[in-house]
């Protein structure tokens, strides 16, 4: 018997009407739908909140990893009180993330061969909303590795272009002359570079300039397009920073009659600076032949460098353009035959063979450090504006060849400051120094040169 047969008569009819009314009614359905939508919105917005929290923590962890390995990899930290592993751990501890790095730090290599530091911190972040989708936590990993030394810029080529004009004999606030302060700064620079790097991989050339620059004995024998007699050179073709706009720069004193160059049509007018140096049209001029004023190429011995620095004396006026132009020649692969000849006769060590390296040689860092205490001035070669244009053209050409150009003005007037600030690779590569700050400036350059060989690899 059907269980509903016990409801008879009016009761049965009433129940039937109630059932039919319930089936037909739509009251309250939007509430159910709204609850479903609310839960879905909560899950989606909560997912966004969890992902924002995750990314914030991941970036914090990754930033700590990057900073830690860069600091620990730097070869300048070789004599620090902490080992590379301890230094990495200290960075994480300072951020309150120490537990994630512990046991996940790897160090390989040595200060002599190059150092690699790798850290692979891992962590979990508990979710707040994604747990409603059965995701209780999110895993994060922030690996970082940095390398310095033989894997990056194993070879360093530096040319120091230093002012030895008469004004460098002026006294500074330290009681020393500018020349004496320059010698201290240059020695400190060389000591920093040669002590913290394998000397076999370093060359430092020294170009001192006043009114002229005296080429190294034998250099002229390797130059093809030189006319006249004398020991010093004036270039018949200068790269014009104005890119051919306006008339060429002309000599004040008859000289060669042409200080400008419109280029060869194959690139910017300054593109040949630092290239084809042995075939650069030049005229021989008469100047002092005192060997202490000669260019000193490719040194990698600190004692030799210091001896050559100590021999510098002051004389003449200021030709920054010539100093920069000869400095560029010391980085030009076209001069390799000349350098090899100095190796063959025992003047330079065998480690210098093959330098200057080709411009596209991998793992080479090229640096020019240019110092002056004054403006292009007072000679019979060109007017100051023309010399400034020539100087800037050389700097522009060097930068185009990936040479890092550091410039230092030392108790210099406004004109020199403006020129050197334009010449430098960037505002951060220009130093306006005075008094006892020159050593600090050169030490900063030495530090920067070395950290250029440091990079993240992960």
Domain positions in the chain: 32-147, 155-246+263-276+285-457
Can you give the pTM of this predicted structure? 0.70
Residue 394 φ/ψ, nearest 5 degrees: -65, -45
Secondary structure of the chain: what % helix, strand, coil (to 5)?
45, 20, 35
Q: What angle do CA 128, 129, 130 make, to 5 degrees?
A: 105
Beta-strand ranges (E) seen in 6-127 are: 105-110, 114-119, 122-126
Residues near 100 by beta carbon (within 8 Å), at least 6 away in sequence? 61, 92, 121, 122, 123
> Which residues face 146 on adjacent strands?
117, 456
The CATH number of 155-246+263-276+285-457 is 3.40.50.410
**pLDDT tens per residue across all 458 residues of the chain:** 555 555 566 777 777 777 777 666 666 667 767 788 877 787 778 788 888 888 889 989 999 999 898 888 875 555 557 888 999 999 999 999 999 999 999 998 765 566 789 999 999 999 888 887 788 889 999 999 988 754 455 799 999 999 999 999 999 999 999 999 999 999 999 999 998 888 999 999 999 999 999 999 999 999 988 999 999 999 886 653 333 333 333 333 333 333 333 333 333 444 466 677 888 889 999 998 998 899 999 999 999 999 999 999 999 999 999 999 999 999 999 999 999 999 999 999 999 999 999 999 988 999 999 999 999 998 678 899 999 999 999 999 999 999 999 999 999 999 999 999 999 999 989 999 988 899 999 999 998 887 776 666 67
Element (H, E) at 353: none
First vs last C-alpha separation in the chain: 80
Helix (H, G, I), strand (E, B) or coil at 171: strand
Instruction: Give the span between the Cα atoms of 85 and 266, in whole angstroms.
Output: 52
């Amino acid at each position: 018997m059907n269980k509903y047969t016990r409801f008879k008569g009016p009761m049965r009819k009433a129940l039937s009407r109630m059932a039919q009314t319930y089936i037909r009614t739509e009251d309250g359905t939007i509430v159910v739908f709204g609850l479903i939508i609310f839960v879905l919105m909560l899950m989606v917005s909560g997912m966004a909140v969890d992902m924002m929290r995750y990314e914030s923590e991941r970036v914090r962890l990754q930033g700590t990893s990057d900073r830690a390995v860069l600091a620990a990899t730097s070869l300048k930290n070789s004599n620090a009180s902490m080992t590379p592993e301890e230094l990495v751990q200290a960075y994480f501890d300072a951020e309150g993330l120490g537990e994630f790095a512990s046991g996940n730090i790897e160090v390989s290599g040595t200060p002599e061969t190059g150092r690699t530091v790798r850290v692979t911190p891992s962590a979990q972040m508990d979710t707040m909303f994604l747990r409603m989708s059965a995701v209780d936590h999110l895993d994060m990993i922030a690996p970082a590795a940095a390398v310095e030394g033989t894997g990056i810029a194993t070879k360093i080529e530096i040319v120091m272009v230093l002012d030895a004009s008469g004004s460098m004999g002026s006294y500074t606030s330290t009681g020393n002359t500018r020349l004496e302060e320059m010698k201290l700064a240059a020695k400190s620079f060389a000591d920093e570079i040669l002590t913290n790097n394998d000397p076999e991989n370093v060359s430092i050339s020294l170009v001192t300039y006043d009114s002229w620059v005296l080429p190294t004995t034998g250099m002229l024998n390797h130059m093809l397009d030189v006319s006249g007699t004398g020991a010093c050179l004036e270039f018949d073709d200068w790269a014009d920073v104005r890119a051919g706009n306006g008339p060429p720069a002309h000599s004040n004193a008859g000289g060669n009659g042409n200080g400008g160059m419109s280029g060869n049509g194959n690139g910017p007018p300054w593109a040949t600076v630092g290239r084809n140096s042995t075939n650069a049209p030049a005229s021989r001029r008469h100047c002092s032949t005192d060997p202490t004023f000669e260019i000193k190429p490719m040194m990698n011995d600190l004692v030799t460098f210091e001896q050559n620095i100590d021999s510098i004396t002051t004389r003449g006026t200021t030709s920054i353009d010539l100093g920069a132009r000869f400095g560029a020649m010391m980085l030009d692969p076209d001069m390799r035959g000349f350098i090899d000849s100095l190796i063959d006769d025992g003047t330079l060590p065998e480690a210098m063979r093959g330098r200057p390296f080709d411009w596209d040689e991998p793992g080479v860092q090229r640096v020019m450090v240019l110092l002056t205490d004054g403006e292009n001035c007072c000679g019979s070669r060109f007017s100051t504006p023309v010399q400034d244009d020539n100087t800037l053209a050389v700097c522009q050409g060097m930068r185009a060849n990936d040479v890092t150009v550091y410039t230092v003005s030392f108790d210099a007037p406004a004109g020199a400051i403006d020129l050197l600030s334009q010449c430098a690779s960037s505002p951060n590569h220009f130093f306006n120094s005075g008094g006892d700050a020159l050593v600090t400036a050169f030490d900063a350059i030495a530090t920067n040169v070395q950290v250029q060989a440091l990079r993240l690899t992960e």
